[in-house]
Amino acid sequence: MNEIADAALIERLRQHMALAAAKQVVAASNIANVDTPGYRAQEVPFAETLDARIASQGLSLTRTSQAHVGGDAEGSVDTRPAEGLASRRDGNNVQLDRELLAMARAGGAFAQAQTALTAKFRLVRYAINEGR
């Protein structure tokens, strides 16, 4: 059986939350520039960032059950221009609906990691209190 150390789990959850927050910052920046002529929407390549972070640490994620979902990573994230978006006459390609959806998804990803982290600390608190 593949054991996951508590410290590694907490680190992955921290990375997940930080990357989700970075995605929200990028989406908020795009929304702030929705009326800026010539502005090109940016995006955070979430899956690619995850793969790069994990590979750089010599680790790999293994899905042991089809019910499991993937994780996410963080760091100083790189942004790239969003591809495939139609530009308006002023050269701006920010789509408000797309950015609001990206913010909602990032908020959901953050909340998932936060819930898992809360559960982990609840178990630690339970272990400490039952040991008295």
The CA distance from 94 to 35, in Å, is 9
Chain mean pLDDT for the chain = 82
The candidate with the shortest Cα–Cα distance to 46, out of 100, 109, 104, 116, is 109
In order along its 132 residues, the chain shows pLDDT tens digits of 456 677 888 888 888 898 999 999 999 999 999 999 999 999 988 666 666 666 666 655 565 666 555 444 444 678 899 999 999 999 999 999 999 999 999 999 999 999 999 998 888 888 888 866
Question: Is residue 13 within 8 Å of residue 113, measured between CB atoms?
Answer: yes
